[in-house]
Structure 1
Amino acid sequence: MPDGEGFTTRYRLLRELGSGGMGTVWLARDEMLDREVAVKELTLPAGMNEAQRADMVARAVREAQATAQLRHPAVVAVHDVAVHDGRPWIVMELLRGRTLTEVVEEQGPLPPERLAELGAQLLDGLAAAHTRGIQHRDVKPGNVFLTDSGRIVLTDFGIARLAGDATLTQTGMLIGSPGFIAPERLDGDQGGPASDLWSLGATLYFGVEGVPAIEGDTMARLAATLAGRIRPPRRSGALGPVLMAMLAHHPAQRPDAGSLRWLLDQVAAGNAPLPPLPPPPLPDQQAHGPAAPVGTGPHGTGPHGTGPYGTGPHGMGPHGTGPYGTGPHGMGPHGTGPVGAGGTGGSSPVPAKGRRPLLLWGGVAVALCLVVAAVVTLRFPPGKPERTSYDQPVDFCKLLTADQVRQIMNISQPPAGKPDGDGCSWIDGNSGLALLPLTDSDTPQPWAMTPETAHALFTSLDREYGEATEVNWSWKEIGVEQVTAQRTARRQVPGLGEEAFAYDLTSPPPHEATHTSVVTFRLLDLVVEAQYSSHASRPTDDDIRNRALEAARRGEAALRGLE
C-alpha cells in the first residue's frame, strides 16, 4: 500500500493474512487509533474494461456501506473504506481464529448441540441484517469465522445488496457459491431472507456432517440444487430434521427466523424438536421441483421470545373500546390508544415490494455464470408477478387447512372455522385460535387499506403495545368473560411478513390457567393478527406461544400463495 494520501498513511501494513480469488487481507495498524485492524484489498481480475472495473469498485464500496450499518456480535465490523489507485481498501475489525471450513478440516465435524448453538448466533446476525433490508447472499463455511475468544462471526458481505438499491451489475450472472446458493436464486429469483436461511442450513450441514449437503463438481451441485436433491444427514442427530427443513426447496416451506431460532435453541439444549409440516404447495411449486423432506410435530414450532403482539381479538379487548368495531366478540381489541383515537400515527409510507432483477457477482467464474444463466433461462420460464396488494376480500377460514388446525391445536378432530368479522376463528371447548385482519378507524374494511396506511397502523400498534400493562379482555366462545390479565410488552418477530411483533396475556386467580399469545404481522397492505388462547391446565405457556406463531406463519404462507 503506497504512502502519500490520508487513507494510506493512516493504515500501516504489517503482513499478509491470506488471499483468495477476490483479494488479499492484510494485518495493519491504525496509526490514528493505535490498534490493529484487518485491511481487505480487492483484486480486480485482469482483462476488465473500465466499466467493469468501475462496477467492481462500486460493489466493494457498497459492501462496506452495507456491512457498516450493522452492529452485531455475529457480523464483522467495518471501520473504514477508501478507493486508492483504482482499487477498494476495506478496513475491518481484526478477527483471530479460524473459519468453519478450517475447523472441520482440522478437527472433524462438530457435535449437533454445538453447531445448533453457533447456528443460533449466526441466525441472529442474519436477522439483524435482514431487518435493515440487507441480504448476505454468500453464507458458506468459508465466511463463518470462529474467533479465539469464542465469538462466531459472519464475514464477507461482499455480495450483499441493500433492498431497493439499483442493480450494480448486469443480470444473467450468478451471485454466490455452488452448493450454498438457494434454489430459487438459481431459478432466476433475487431471493430474500429465506434464501440466506437456506444457505445457512447448507453451512450448518457441512459443520455437523463434515461434508457438503450437495456434493460433486460445480455443475453437478447446481443441477442437484435445482432438482432438490439433498444428501440425507447421517451424523446430525436432532439437528438433522431442522437442517432438512431449512433446506426445503420452496422458500415458503422453510421455517421463519423466529421458529428457526426456537428450534436451534432446543437442539442446543439437548432436546429433539420436530419442525412443523410444510404449508401446502403453492400453485407454481411443481415447476421448482420437489421439496426437501421436513419433520412433523403436533405443536409446530416457535421461539421463546419472538411471538407477536396483537391484542385479543375477542370480547372487550385488552385495550378498552378501540376503533375496530364491535364485531361478534364485543367492543374490539385495541383500546383507546393512538389508533383508537382515530389516528394512525405519523409513520412514513412503505411502498409495496415488487420483484427486482437478479444480481450477479463473484464466487463463480464469469464463464460459468453465463452457462448457468443460459441453463436457467432454458429450463425455467419467468415466474408469475408477485402480488402487490390484497384489494379483494380473502376468506380467512380457508387460510388454514383442517390438518394444520389439528396440528396447531393438538387435537384429533379439528373444529371448522367460523367467520369472525373479516377473519376466522376455530373454537374447541376452552381453547381458541383466530386469524383476523385489522384496519384503522378511517378504513371500513381491511381490503381498502394501502401499504402506507397498513404500515402506519402497524407502527401505531407497535408503539401502543411497547410496555407491559394490566388489561381486561373477553373471549366468550371459550368461556372467558371480563378477565383481568397482565399483558407483556411487545417483542419483535423477525422473518414474518414485512414486519411483526408479539405479546402474551396471563390472568391471575381464579383464571390463573387462562393464557393467550398474539402475533401481529403486516404483509403488503394487510395487517393480520393471529391469536391462540386457552384456559385449560395444558398446554404450557411455551406451547401457546408456539401455536400462535405457527398460526401466523401458516397464515402468511397461505396469503402469499393466493392467486
Structure 2
Amino acid sequence: MSTGRLAGRYSLLRPLGAGGMGKVWLARDEMLDRDVAVKELTLPEGLSPKERADSVTRAVREAQATARLRHPGIVALHDVVVEQERPWLVMELLRGRTLGETVREFGPMPADYAARVGADVLEALTVAHSQGLQHRDVKPGNVFLTESGRVVLTDFGIARQEGQATLTEQGLMIGSPGFIAPERLEGESGGPLSDLWSLGATLYVALTGAPAHEGSAAQRVRATLTQPVPELAGPLGPLVAAMMARHPAARPDPRVAVHVLRQVAAGEQAPRLPVNHDATVPGQVRRRGRAAVWIAAAVGVAVAAGTTGFFVLRDQGGGPPSAFTVPMDVCTLIGSQEIGRLLRTQSPPKGQPDADEVGPECGWPISGTGVGLQVQKDSDTLDPWSMTTDAARTLFQNQQRYWAKYDDIDWTWPEIGVKKSIRSKRTPVRQLTGLGEEAFGFELKGTTGRVHSAHIYYRLANLVVSVEYTTLNDRPTDEDVKQSALRAAQASEQALRDAG
C-alpha cells in the first residue's frame, strides 16, 4: 500500500526493507508521539477467504505469544492491527545495523565482542524458551546491534509456540538454509537446542565472516545434514563446535554456554572444552555429550533446562545471599522427592513451568492436590532478577498489605480439578520466622470451614517467592495443610541458598 494510516494512529512514512514475510515501514505513532516500525505481513496468493481468515487469526495468535516476551534482548511488540485482510505488527524502532551487515562492512568480530553478542542473544532466547516459544530463524540478519549498544533478537515472525501449528507451517517458510538445525531439516519440530544450533551458526559467521556451510540453499542443507562443522580457531572454537553438534543431545546446556560466553567476553580464559567432532556425524551420539558435562563440573554451574529463575551470588562472609541475578529453572527449586512426599504419591508429577506479568512460576498438580511456586517482580522491573533489594522489600510489604485487605477470595486451580471458582475465607495474615529474611502466611477456607489452601510469601535478598499448597482431600487436618506449605517453602529457600 502507499503511505497512509493504520488504526487511526500509525502514519506509515516510508519503507525500511522487505523480506519473505512482508515489508517493514517507518511509522509514527501519533497518539504517543513516537517513531515505530510497522511490519506488514504478506500472505500467500491464491488463498480462499476461509484460509485467509485462518492465516490472519494464526498470525495474530503468534504475535500475542511474542508480545508476552519482555527482555531488553527481544524486540518489543507494541500492537497488532488487522486491516486490509492482513495483520500489521507495530514494534519498537531500532537504530543501528544487523550483525550480518556489520560483518560484511567491518569483517570478522574479535572473540570477546562476538562472545558478548552471543551471550546476550542466548539469554534472550532463554526467556522465549521459558514460555514455550522457539524462534526458529536465528541468523545474522535477525541479530540487531543498536547504536546504544543493545543486542536485540528480532523477527519472531516464524516462531513456534509449543503444541500449536503456526502460520509458517502452512508453507510460507521454515527458516534460512545454513542456519536451520539438522533435526528440523529432517522434519522434527525442534526445540530450544535447535535455536542453540542456529546461534552457533550465527557466531561462526561473526567470528569468520562466512557461514560454516556455503553454496546454494540445497548445498547448505546437504552439508548441514552430512558434514561436520569446520574447525574454528580461537577461544570460542570448541564451544561453537559443541553448539553445532549434529545431535541435540551432544549440545551444551544453554546456561553453561552463556557462562562460557561471558567468560570470553570478559577477557578470561574459557574452560577447555574437549569436543567430540564425531558428534556431528549421524548415528554417533546416544546421550548428552561428555563436553557439556565437563564444562558444568569445571565452572560449577548447575545444569538444568526449563523456565526462568535464579542463581544466587553470596557474600564472601557467608550469611544470606546478596543478590539473585542469573536465570535458572524455578521448577528445580523443589525436588522430585519432596514433591512426592508433599503430594503423598510414589509418582510425583513433573513441574509445569509458566509465566505471567507477575513473574515465572511452576506448578506440580495432581488430581485434588497441588504445589505451586512463583518468583515475583514489581511492575517497574523487567524481570525478577533485575530487582534491587529495596524494590523487593517494597514488593513484599505491598503483597502483605494486599492480602491483609481482602477476606473473601475467589479461588480456582483447573489443573487439580477446580475449574469453577471456590468462594473462600482468608485466615488472618501472620508473620513467620525462620524463613528467608522476612515472611508471612495465611490460609483459605472453603464453605465447609476447613482449610484447603495454605499460602506463604518470603523475601530472600532481592527475591520475593510465593508458595502454595492445596488439597481437596478430607484426610489432612488444617495443621497438615499449613505444615505442607511451610515444608515446600523451606525446600525452595534451601535450594536457592545451595545454588550459591
Query: What's the TM-score bracket when you normalise by the shorter of the two chains?
Result: 0.5 to 0.7
Question: 1:126, 1:173 → 2: CA distance?
Answer: 23
Contact in 1 for aligned 2:251/2:289 (Cα 8 Å):
no
Question: 2:168, 2:461 → 1: CA distance?
Answer: 47
Does 2:261 correspond to 1:264? yes
In structure 2, relative to structure 1, the CA distance for the partners of 1:501 and 1:221 (3 Å cut) is: farther
Partner of 1:88: 87
TM-fit CA distance, 1:452: 7.0
Partner of 1:244: 241
Does 2:107 correspond to 1:208? no
Partner of 1:37: 36
In structure 2, relative to structure 1, the CA distance for the partners of 1:55 and 1:103 (3 Å cut) is: farther
TM-fit CA distance, 1:116: 0.5
Partner of 1:449: 348
TM-fit CA distance, 1:231: 2.1
TM-fit CA distance, 1:56: 4.0
Paired amino acid for 1:211: A
TM-fit CA distance, 1:22: 2.2
Tell me the percent identity: 50
Deviations along 1:239-281, whole A, 9 cap, x unmatched?
1111111111111211112111111111112213234767x98
Partner of 1:176: 175
Question: 1:289, 1:297 → 2: CA distance?
Answer: 17
Paired amino acid for 2:213: I
Q: 1:458-537 maps to which residues of 2 (within 5 A)?
A: 467=436, 517=498
Question: 2:95, 2:229 → 1: CA distance?
Answer: 33
Contact in 2 for aligned 1:249/1:290 (Cα 8 Å):
no
Contact in 2 for aligned 1:59/1:168 (Cα 8 Å):
yes
Paired amino acid for 1:456: W
In structure 2, relative to structure 1, the CA distance for the partners of 1:149 and 1:505 (3 Å cut) is: closer
| Unmatched segments (≥5 aa) in structure 2 | 311-330, 353-361, 376-431, 439-459, 466-490
Q: Secondary structure at the match of 2:297?
A: coil
Deviations along 1:416-460, whole A, 9 cap, x unmatched?
xxxxxxxxxxxxxxxxxxx985443256664x2234799428955
Paired amino acid for 1:149: S
TM-fit CA distance, 1:167: 4.9
Partner of 1:161: 160
Contact in 2 for aligned 1:307/1:503 (Cα 8 Å):
no
Q: Secondary structure at the match of 2:23?
A: strand
In structure 2, relative to structure 1, the CA distance for the partners of 1:262 and 1:225 (3 Å cut) is: same
Number of corresponding residues: 356
Contact in 1 for aligned 2:271/2:299 (Cα 8 Å):
no
Question: 2:494, 2:103 → 1: CA distance?
Answer: 40
Contact in 1 for aligned 2:435/2:493 (Cα 8 Å):
no
Q: Secondary structure at the match of 2:36?
A: strand
Question: 1:299, 1:2 → 2: CA distance?
Answer: 55
In structure 2, relative to structure 1, the CA distance for the partners of 1:198 and 1:459 (3 Å cut) is: farther
Question: 2:287, 2:39 → 1: CA distance?
Answer: 41
TM-fit CA distance, 1:121: 0.8
In structure 2, relative to structure 1, the CA distance for the partners of 1:296 and 1:504 (3 Å cut) is: closer
Question: 1:502, 1:206 → 2: CA distance?
Answer: 42
Paired amino acid for 2:12: L
Question: 1:295, 1:38 → 2: CA distance?
Answer: 40
Deviations along 1:361-409, whole A, 9 cap, x unmatched?
xxxxxxxxxxxxxxxxxxxxxxxxxxxxxxxxxxxxxxxxxxxxxxxxx
Contact in 2 for aligned 1:28/1:37 (Cα 8 Å):
yes
Does 2:36 correspond to 1:136? no
| Pairing partner for 2:272 from 274, 277, 296 | 274
Contact in 2 for aligned 1:183/1:249 (Cα 8 Å):
yes
Deviations along 1:293-315, whole A, 9 cap, x unmatched?
968957635576988999xxxxx
In structure 2, relative to structure 1, the CA distance for the partners of 1:51 and 1:114 (3 Å cut) is: same
Question: 1:491, 1:239 → 2: CA distance?
Answer: 36
Paired amino acid for 2:246: H
Deviations along 1:145-184, whole A, 9 cap, x unmatched?
1111111101000011222334556578861111111111
In structure 2, relative to structure 1, the CA distance for the partners of 1:96 and 1:145 (3 Å cut) is: same
Question: 2:295, 2:350 → 1: CA distance?
Answer: 35
TM-fit CA distance, 1:76: 0.4
Q: Secondary structure at the match of 1:286?
A: coil
Partner of 2:25: 26
Contact in 2 for aligned 1:259/1:301 (Cα 8 Å):
no
Q: Secondary structure at the match of 1:440?
A: helix
TM-fit CA distance, 1:220: 1.2
Paired amino acid for 1:179: G
Partner of 1:397: none
TM-fit CA distance, 1:64: 2.1
| Unmatched segments (≥5 aa) in structure 1 | 311-349, 351-434, 470-486, 493-499, 507-516, 519-544, 546-563
TM-fit CA distance, 1:58: 3.4
Contact in 1 for aligned 2:250/2:289 (Cα 8 Å):
no
Partner of 2:104: 105
In structure 2, relative to structure 1, the CA distance for the partners of 1:306 and 1:94 (3 Å cut) is: farther
Partner of 2:115: 116
Question: 2:290, 2:139 → 1: CA distance?
Answer: 22
Question: 2:225, 2:99 → 1: CA distance?
Answer: 25
Say which structure, 1 or 2, has more relative contact order (CA 8 Å, 6+ apart): 1
Question: 1:82, 1:21 → 2: CA distance?
Answer: 20
Deviations along 1:461-482, whole A, 9 cap, x unmatched?
777999469xxxxxxxxxxxxx
TM-fit CA distance, 1:190: 0.8
In structure 2, relative to structure 1, the CA distance for the partners of 1:173 and 1:149 (3 Å cut) is: closer
TM-fit CA distance, 1:66: 2.0
Question: 1:190, 1:466 → 2: CA distance?
Answer: 43
Q: 1:184-223 maps to which residues of 2 (within 5 A)?
A: 184-223=183-222
TM-fit CA distance, 1:32: 0.5
The alignment yields a C-alpha RMSD, in angstroms, of: 4.3
TM-score under structure 2 length normalisation: 0.61
